[in-house]
Amino acid sequence: MRSYRVWEHGAPSSMQVDLLPDLVPAPREMIVDVKAVGINFPDTLVVSGKYQVLPPRPFTPGKDLAGVVRAVGAGVEGFSSGDRIMAQVEHGAFAEQASVPPSQAFLLPDGLSFEAAAAMGLVYQTAYFALVERGQYKRGETVLVGGAAGGVGLAAVQIAKGLGARVLAGVRSAAEEAVVREAGADAVIDLSVADLRDNLRAQVHAATDGHGADVVLDPLGADFFAAALRAAAWCGRLVVIGFAAGDIPTVKVNYLLVKNISVSGLQWSDYRDRTPELVLKVQQELFDLWRAGAVRPRIMRVFPFEELPEALELVAQGKVQGKAVVSIGGGAA
């Protein structure tokens, strides 16, 4: 089977395609014929060597996959060969076969394609945990989403709308504005303005009758973080998800005190590893939102296996609105 592998950290094009023997399931693991892979921003960090969790080289990167169970190891319950599943793994998805712990796999509902499932993994789980678990969102509140046309951001817009929020979507181009409006955003916040520090608050207050944002979901960091803190409502909650804008900001704690604001962080993979039962419950809720039509992963482009490095490069350059997906072995069904 073919597998992309990182021998030396570097650009996506530095990954090598290696021919490896078919995988054999270890006890309490299963082997999946991968049909589709979702590309995530953290994949670019893993390949370049800038991510916090890096396995010894050579290794196969890739976190989001959908496919068909090929074989199950001893002690695996609830899955059998032929099952259509999606899974989020720490590494190993960028290959024709992947080893998956059953606690990280979910049976696909009828009608959800492999490609949509691969696009609906990590970013939707992350957005849901950020909004509900860390952000303590309550139905009807106002949610401000930074980087709202990106993978996590667009998932957050759809989930928040599906859960009854008023959604303010922060973007920085007209093309992104069209994407978030299509996803149901109630108001669009322009993040390209020169004076974001004051202007963000002015825009959020204009869109909320001076109330501010009850929950802020921040995958950007940098200037957005400080500005969004000032745009939070009384008792607002800001959730740090990532630093796609580059810089890691610091908190001016006087803001927290003055408006009773909370800042929390989210590292979704910790939930995956420590509380798989909660992750499973969230996945069922995400499937329910999908069945209700509230959640529809936006796949910007489907790439063939051979062009996986190009997909990764586009994500690294921030040129993907929604998700880039790689199809493997005729994976559309």
Interface with ligand NAP (CB under 6 A) = 40-42, 122-123, 126, 147, 149-153, 172-173, 191, 219-220, 222, 241-245, 266-268, 315, 318, 320
Q: Which residue from 241, 214, 210, 211 is spatially nearest to 225, judged by alpha carbons?
A: 241
To ligand NAP, the closest distance from the beta carbon of 94 in angstroms equals: 16
To ligand NAP, the closest distance from the beta carbon of 25 in angstroms equals: 27
Neighbours of 18 (CB within 10 A): 14
> Distance between CA 90 and CA 228 in Å, rounded?
31
To ligand NAP, the closest distance from the beta carbon of 313 in angstroms equals: 12
Query: Looking at beta carbons only, is 80 or 264 nearer to ligand NAP?
Result: 264
Q: Which residue is nearest to ligand NAP (CB)?
A: 150
Query: Looking at beta carbons only, is 12 or 151 nearer to ligand NAP?
Result: 151
Backbone φ and ψ for 122, nearest 5 degrees, come out as -50, -45
Query: Looking at beta carbons only, is 108 or 240 nearer to ligand NAP?
Result: 240
Cα 154 vs. chain centroid, distance in angstroms? 9
**Which residues share a beta bridge with 306?**
none
DSSP H/E element including 198: helix 196-207
To ligand NAP, the closest distance from the beta carbon of 69 in angstroms equals: 25
Residue 63 in tokens: 């976190």
How many CA atoms does the CB half-sphere of 168 hold within 13 Å? 28
Residue 2 in tokens: 């073919």
Sheet of strand 262-265: strand arrangement: 187-190, 166-171, 142-145, 213-218, 232-240, 262-265
To ligand NAP, the closest distance from the beta carbon of 65 in angstroms equals: 15
Give per-residue burial for 133-164: e unless 16+ CB within 10 Å, then b. bbbebeeebbbbbbbbbbbbbbbbbbbbbbbe
To ligand NAP, the closest distance from the beta carbon of 77 in angstroms equals: 28
To ligand NAP, the closest distance from the beta carbon of 315 in angstroms equals: 6
